[in-house]
Each structure stands twice: as structure tokens, then as C-alpha cells.
Chains A and B, each alone.
Chain A
Amino acid sequence: MALRCVVVTPERTQLDREAEYVSLPMFDGELGVMQGRAPMIGRLGYGTMKLQTAAGPERYYIDGGFAHVEGDVVNVITGKAVPADLLDSEESRNALQEALDLPAKTPEESQLKSIAVMKARGQVRASR
């Protein structure tokens, strides 16, 4: 019980608690963090963050941002962190459909579309 997980959003410090293990949804896949991890700064994707705490597992949907690990403290800097139970799967599926319907005629548009799709997919997965 030596890992501290802090989730910071622009509005408030959403979460600050001890955990045995934290699984972060990185930009290119999942990353598990346990006590004694080497310092790192990572880019987060859109997905589920899992925490193993003494009180049991917890899941949060993370909306991009960064992870900063140093000295057994995991700082998650994100725009939005929602407990996965509060996500509505119907709503997120609609969001995915909307994202898939976006135009992608220019390289810039297609980039924006792929971000929107990734975001929506992450939400759909987290809401299951």
C-alpha cells in the first residue's frame, strides 16, 4: 500500500488515494504501475483507469491527458475523469456513431475525426 494515485482535473482534485496497483490507459496501450516504478511521463489515451485498492477494484473513464509517475506517486492530469459506473452505454454508443459520421475530406479533418472516434470507443469500452 505505498502507491498514491492523484487525479487532477481543471475543476478539482478528483481523486487522491492509496492503491496497490494502477492500470493506466496510455495512448498506445495499457500500462500497469506498481510500487517502485521508474519515473515517467506518459500521454494518456481515452480509456479506463483501473485501481486496485484495499477496498476493492475501481474503474474510471479518463479523457486523455497525461500521467506523471515519480516516487510512488501517480499523477493523472486529465480533462475529465468519470467513474465507469456512471457512464451510460447507450449514450456513448450514440457518440461513437456521431463520430463515425464526421467528414474526413482533408488530412486535418480526418485527424479530428480519428480523435473523436478514439474518444467514443474508449467511452463505449469503459461503459460496459
Chain B
Amino acid sequence: MANARALDKRRKSIRNIRKITRTMELIATARYKKAMDRAHAVTAYTDRLAQIVSSLSAAGTEVDHPLLQPRENPKAVRVLVLSSNRGLCGGYNAGILRAAVPRIRELKESIGNVTVDVSGKRGINGLKFRGIETAGNYTQFEDQPAYEEVDKIASGFLEQYITGQFDRLDVIYTRFISTSRQEATIETLLPFGSLDEGDESATPDGSNNTSQYEFLPTADSILEEVVPTSFKAKLFKCFLDAAVSEQVARMIAMKGATESAGDMISQLSMTYNRARQSQITGEIMEIIGGVEALEG
């Protein structure tokens, strides 16, 4: 039987770890709620944008913009990978890397010129370990990505896309579907597929197109601005989704860790009690043996 004292020591350290994981779970829960609120706030923005787009198309404007046109024979591709800065969040970063690495390899084979940008220390290190060179590294995004920061990156991408430095932008991020389901997703953001995509929820709301809008200065000029704005909003949504998913992943991972720490403690307690009991029994036997020896 193992040493009772060593068992007790181990049990104590597991108790400490459980305290830490439980705290981390609580923190992740609080952060998740905050991140969720922000994700909801962005829908107010995108809904209004969608409303403008729908009234533009209702007014008979031809939806046509350089960002919307697919480019034939893309020569250079840009990939943006969104991971987290911190670990201890279960399979979150592994999932992202599992999606990203084959995609990057495939693009390298088919197109050749691939530039990879990564957000999050885990992604930076993970890709470095797998021998993929990265061009831009961002570590400033935590649980609440600021629009201003995303806007800078988005403007940079738009600028390079318009000036023809790359022909396609893929974003690899974890899409938040529900609390129990997040998926590593690859989305092509440039060329920007369609303006109405993913905004189906807004259409029944915007069906009251009875009012005739005045477009200032012209519908075309508004369209010229709507497309880049929608792109930025979409990229921002990707960052928010990634942040929410990270917190959910951490919450679940830490919950699991707390639970298994509890299981381990009860198991160890049992072994410890047995060890102590056998020690006591051993001591009693010794005493009895000693007394008998004296009497004899």
C-alpha cells in the first residue's frame, strides 16, 4: 500500500488545481457573456446595412462592384487564421490548425503564392512548428476585439486587394453555432460573394419597401461604400465569433477539468483512507505482538 503521507500531498495539490480550474471556468463564463453581448450588438449594425442593401436593390440599382466580381486565375492568395492568445481551451486551437494547415498546403500547390496572417500566439507558434511561414502576426485580440483594430486590418486587406497584390482572401476561424457547437470554418471573404448572404433574417423585416427613398448623392455612390463596409462588418463578425468560441471552449474545458479533479480527489481519498487504516492496523499488530512477547 502506498505511503499515506504522499497520497495526502497529492490530494492537496489536486485540490489546488481544482480551485484554479474552477476560477478559470467562472472567468471564462463571465467573458463569454460579454463577448456574446458584443456579437449581438454587431447584428444591429449588419441588419441596418442589409436594410440599405435591400432598399438599393428594390430601387432597381444594379449591384455591381469590383469587390463582388470573382477574379479568374488568382495568382496570389492571402489566408487569415484566427486563433487564441492563451491555451487551456480544449481543442479550440487544434481544431483551427487542423483546418488551416491542409488548406494552406493545398493552396500552395494549386496557386503557389500564399501569404499567411495569423492572429493569436497559439496559432503563430502552431504554424511555426508545422513549418509554415507567416507574414503578419496579430496578438492584440483578446476576448473583446476592438472594431478599430479590425478596421485597420480590413482596410489593409482592401487596399492590397484593390491594388492587385492578392486576388483572394480566405479567413479560417471558429464559427459559433451554439454553446455546444463551434466549428472551424474556412470562408472566402474576397472576392466578396454576395451582399445578401447570411442576412436572410433581415429580409422579412425590410419587406416594407413601400416608402420611396431618396438616395443621396446617388444610389451608385452608396453602393460603392456599402460593399467595403459590409466586408469590414463581416470580418469583424469573424473576429467576434472566434472570441466567443474561444471563451466557450475554455469554459467547457475547465468544467471538464474541475469535474475530473473532483473524481480524482474522491478516488485518492479512498486509497488514502485505506492506506491509513492499514498503517494503523499494522501498528496495532506490532503493539499486540510486543505485549505478547513480553508476557511470554
Q: Which residue of A lies closest to B150 (CB)?
A: A10
Pick from A51-59, A61-69, A87-95, A120-128 the stretch touching chain B: A61-69
Q: Which residue of A lies closest to B210 (CB)?
A: A39
- Chain A residues with CB under 8 Å of chain B are 8-13, 26-28, 31, 38-43, 64-66, 68, 70, 75, 77, 79-80, 106, 108-109, 112
19 new A-B contacts, CB < 8 A, other than A27-B216, A42-B215, are: A8-B44, A8-B48, A9-B147, A10-B233, A11-B38, A11-B146, A13-B44, A26-B217, A40-B214, A40-B216, A43-B222, A66-B52, A66-B222, A68-B51, A79-B229, A106-B163, A108-B163, A108-B164, A112-B159
Task: Say whether, besides A8-B44, A75-B48, A109-B163, A65 and B229 are in contact (CB < 8 Å).
Answer: yes
Give chain B's interface secondary structure class.
helix
Residue contact B147 to A40, C-beta cutoff 8 Å? no
Residue B117, interface by CB 8 Å = no
Residues of B within 8 A of A80 (CB): 147-148, 151
Q: How many A-B residue pairs have CB under 8 A?
A: 91
Min distance, Cβ A107 to any Cβ of chain B, angstroms = 10
Min distance, Cβ A105 to any Cβ of chain B, angstroms = 10
Query: Complex Cα distance A106/B164, Å?
Result: 12
CB<8 Å pairs between A and B, sample of 25: A8-B45, A8-B48, A9-B45, A10-B41, A10-B42, A10-B147, A28-B216, A39-B211, A40-B215, A40-B216, A41-B52, A41-B213, A41-B214, A41-B215, A42-B217, A42-B222, A65-B229, A66-B52, A66-B222, A66-B229, A77-B45, A77-B49, A77-B229, A108-B164, A109-B163
Residue contact A26 to B216, C-beta cutoff 8 Å? yes
Min distance, Cβ B9 to any Cβ of chain A, angstroms = 49
Residue B225, interface by CB 8 Å = yes
Min distance, Cβ B208 to any Cβ of chain A, angstroms = 10
